[in-house]
Structure 1
Amino acid sequence: MTKEQLEERFRLARSNAYGRWTSLLIALGVEEAVLNRKNQPCPLAGCGGTDRFQYTDKFGDGNYVCRACGAGGGFKLLMGYFGWSAATALHRVERALCMQPAPPPRKTSEKDASSLMQKILAETRPITHGDEVDRYLCNRGLGMGSYPDALRSHPSLGYFELDAATGKPVLVGRFPAMVACVHDRHGAIVSLHRTYLQDGRKLSGRDAKKLLCGGVEGGAIRLAAAGAELAVCEGIETGLAILKRTGQSIWIGICAGNLERMWIPEEVRRLRIYGDNDADSMFDGQASSYVLARQFLKRRVRGEKRSAEVFIPRAAGADWANVLFHQAPGVEQAA
């Protein structure tokens, strides 16, 4: 990749991340306490102190200031906090924002991709009480007596990162993981969503959530079969929160960009969309929810009864998993 191409990737990532850095940094593993806008010890490697650091996000770029090591933005904060290179920080931000291409596409045939997905699935097992996935979900307030078949537990899934010099994947460790299939409109598995775990939490300091074998292009993780009514949302944890509260059939869109492109079966007559409240960033959750609702209603033929409803949590930065965990007004109250 040329210097110009790399600079363009940074420019696009900064543009897409503008106004969204606080939630983005939390999603990438930065502790919320670091971002509370109060004076505190500097969290960047080798700095320390007692009250020299303050996160401000003053200009919408994840801004911070430290009286010892200087000022910076979101990328510099990630690099100092985790010890990442600039390329690694860029890659993680691109992935979190569902930007493409990130990473550069590998030359993998459909047959090889399918074989890899089937191999990983064969190594998984249903989520059981006390395993690492159950432990993680219980810590999120999402524990259940039994979980949807679409979600599986992998005891020790390989975690790979691309080598900056060779562009080839390198195994950096093995971790427990929650694995879910992403299906396209024909019911074929087009990707696997993996949430890497450690000590009952998402894997810290790395890209804990990954998609395998390319994009999803309107596909979804189906926690239950669709019928005349269907609920949809962005994240797995959000979907489980809604399922736990309401028992509705729900599909997961994975990210806001894919939610608005999600394929909805023709038999669905009532669509219930549970969007994230991204009022503290760029309103992506709200925007994608209403785009999907509009597209669903535009497909209505004359005389057909079809409805779409959008539900957004009250608090900026919240999703419905947060609502359930903190015992705030529930999904059924908003519906």
Structure 2
Amino acid sequence: MSAATKLPYYDASKVREKASGRWLEIFAYLAYEEFGEAIQKPKKHHTCPIHGTRNKSGKGDGFKFFKDVVDSGGGVCNTCGPFPDGFRLLQEVKGWDFRTTLAHVAEFVGVKSEQEEREAKKSSRSSTSKPAPTQPQSTTASQSGGVVPISPQVNQVEPSAHDVSKFAPTPERMEEIKKLQEQIAKRQAQASAEAQEQIDRIWRESIPLNNGIPGPLYKYLQKRAVLLRLEVLLEGDNIRFHRELPYYDEDDDGKVIVVGKFPAMIAAIRDLKGNIITLHRTYLTPRGAKANVECPRKMMAVPDDKTVTGCAIQLGGFPTDGVIGVAEGYETAASPLRVYGIPTWSCVSASILEQFEPPKGVHTVIGWEDKDRSLRGELAMQALKVNLEEKGIRFIRMPIRRKIPTGAKSIDWNDVLVKEGIIGMPAYNQLMKVIQGG
């Protein structure tokens, strides 16, 4: 029997609820060795605890916690991509499966396993007939400075895999971290309001494409072989152009500075009701190349009262025949849209892709898969396949049957289209045959 199967069962929703508001404490206790630097200065970029490197300039821009880290536990690395919550981050840095991660977090926040809950109820019902045996009193989080020891029950599972207490900071440091996350929580409400204001302002400043495609954007889409017909780009008002969008970065002291102003493609990430949740920005040069900045493609922050789960850049509008495509990046989604004319939505990242929710009436989803050395794109599509098929929706996976180029981290369908042209894409008749179940 594997270690995971010996673990008690915890209700993930209960653990998630209890963990909200305490993720810095959780990281400090379970993974201080990996996250210590980032915990002390959560607003700055740091060496990534996953791939462990900084960029070529030596500046620590590999990893940074999300602004709502206290509640979500999420973070992002410019190389590894985003991790939507603390469970995913701990799984990645500790090498644990989900059940192991859930057990550790549950113990710290004081959530009992379902078995313990049942036994407690049984004991309570029988207490009227006979006295319950005396049990040693467990230490609460408040009594131990926020640290809840790993319980004997979980120590039944591979002690070496669960011996994380040696990495925990001192009780004094835990108290400092607790105060720090309280301060972050207060700032978070203000940051959320500012994020919404910035989203509204940038979208308002951006130019709709009703009168044509501005030069830098036209050249960029042309270079990426996804220069769609104007009526397709106009569908749903999902793509706009900003003439001078500021690009922000941090100096060595963590101070936010404006690197410059660039033309940019602005894409609306909408929910199924059509509401804009946040924006995705692609910074460009006047000649249509990606701007020479650290991260030319960025998603804006998501306000606290919203979520990107199930959202996408809705390229091609809503499907009318029950068939829709889905991909990670904008250019990847625009590639099959251009070739086949099937609405194909961009989820921006693998994490959002896994939770993709097609609109009502969709019976078939075509997944245009990225091929990554890390296998992230493949794993995201596998997760999406499971999610959709559980809902009775047919899923057609479109993997890339080519080697990743030497020196590259990945290859996507837009790379195929740019290099090989339409002939490199699956034949139209073959794809239609698969869609029709042939």
- When normalised by structure 2's length, the TM-score is 0.54
Q: Unaligned regions of 5+ residues in structure 2, if any?
A: 1-23, 25-31, 40-45, 65-74, 90-183, 405-409, 432-438
Equivalent pairs counted in the alignment come to 262
Q: Deviations over 1:57-97 (max 9, x none)?
A: xxxxxxxxxxxxxxxxx53xx32xxx351x22445971341
**Bigger fraction of residues in helix:** 2
Q: Is the 8 A contact 2:84 2:351 kept in 1?
A: no
**CA 1:319–1:158 in 2, change beyond 3 Å: closer, same or farther?**
same
Within 5 Å, give how 1:72-151 maps onto structure 2: 75=54, 78-79=55-56, 83-85=57-59, 87-90=60-63, 94-96=77-79, 97-99=81-83, 107=188, 108=190, 110-127=192-209, 128-129=212-213, 131-146=215-230, 147-149=232-234, 150-151=238-239
Structure-1 separation of matches of 2:36 and 2:310: 28
Q: Which residue of 2 aligns with 1:294?
A: 386
Q: Is the 8 A contact 1:236 1:252 kept in 2?
A: yes
Structure-2 separation of matches of 1:207 and 1:84: 15
> Which amino acid in structure 1 is aligned with residue 424 of structure 2?
P
Q: 1:213 aligns with which of 301, 304, 321?
A: 301
Within 5 Å, give how 1:1-335 maps onto structure 2: 5-6=36-37, 10=47, 12-14=49-51, 75=54, 78-79=55-56, 83-85=57-59, 87-90=60-63, 94-96=77-79, 97-99=81-83, 107=188, 108=190, 110-127=192-209, 128-129=212-213, 131-146=215-230, 147-149=232-234, 150-165=238-253, 167=254, 169-198=256-285, 199-214=287-302, 216-223=308-315, 224-227=317-320, 228-278=322-372, 281-300=373-392, 306-315=393-402, 316=404, 317-326=410-419, 327=421, 328-333=423-428, 335=431
Structure-1 separation of matches of 2:416 and 2:191: 42
Q: Is the 8 A contact 1:217 1:261 kept in 2?
A: yes
> Which amino acid in structure 1 is aligned with residue 394 of structure 2?
S
Deviation at 1:130, TM superposition (A): 5.3
- When normalised by structure 1's length, the TM-score is 0.69
Q: Secondary structure at the match of 2:365?
A: strand
Deviation at 1:185, TM superposition (A): 4.0
Deviation at 1:110, TM superposition (A): 4.5
Q: Deviations over 1:260-313 (max 9, x none)?
A: 1122233211111111122xx12111111121111101012xxxxx41101012
Structure-2 separation of matches of 1:99 and 1:290: 17
Q: Deviations over 1:185-236 (max 9, x none)?
A: 4432111000001232111241101111237333211111144211100110
Structure-2 separation of matches of 1:307 and 1:144: 27
Structure-2 separation of matches of 1:129 and 1:164: 38
Structure-2 separation of matches of 1:208 and 1:311: 27
Tell which structure's C-alpha radius of gyration is larger: 2
**Bigger fraction of residues in strand:** 1
Deviation at 1:129, TM superposition (A): 4.2
> Which amino acid in structure 2 is aligned with residue 95 of structure 1?
N
Q: Secondary structure at the match of 1:6?
A: helix
Structure-1 separation of matches of 2:324 and 2:229: 23
Structure-2 separation of matches of 1:179 and 1:216: 16
**CA 1:122–1:247 in 2, change beyond 3 Å: closer, same or farther?**
same
Q: Unaligned regions of 5+ residues in structure 1, if any?
A: 16-73, 301-305
Structure-1 separation of matches of 2:283 and 2:394: 37
Structure-1 separation of matches of 2:388 and 2:229: 34
Structure-2 separation of matches of 1:283 and 1:265: 27
Structure-2 separation of matches of 1:331 and 1:231: 14
Structure-1 separation of matches of 2:202 and 2:427: 36
Structure-2 separation of matches of 1:310 and 1:260: 13
**CA 1:111–1:309 in 2, change beyond 3 Å: closer, same or farther?**
same
Deviation at 1:10, TM superposition (A): 3.6
Give aligned-pair identity as a percent.
24
Q: Is the 8 A contact 2:270 2:278 kept in 1?
A: yes
Q: Deviations over 1:137-178 (max 9, x none)?
A: 11122223425231111111011124553x553222100101
Structure-2 separation of matches of 1:293 and 1:263: 11
Q: Is the 8 A contact 1:136 1:200 kept in 2?
A: yes
Structure-2 separation of matches of 1:185 and 1:144: 23
Q: Secondary structure at the match of 1:125?
A: coil
Q: Is the 8 A contact 1:142 1:244 kept in 2?
A: yes
CA-based RMSD? 3.0
Q: Which residue of 1 aligns with 2:17?
A: none
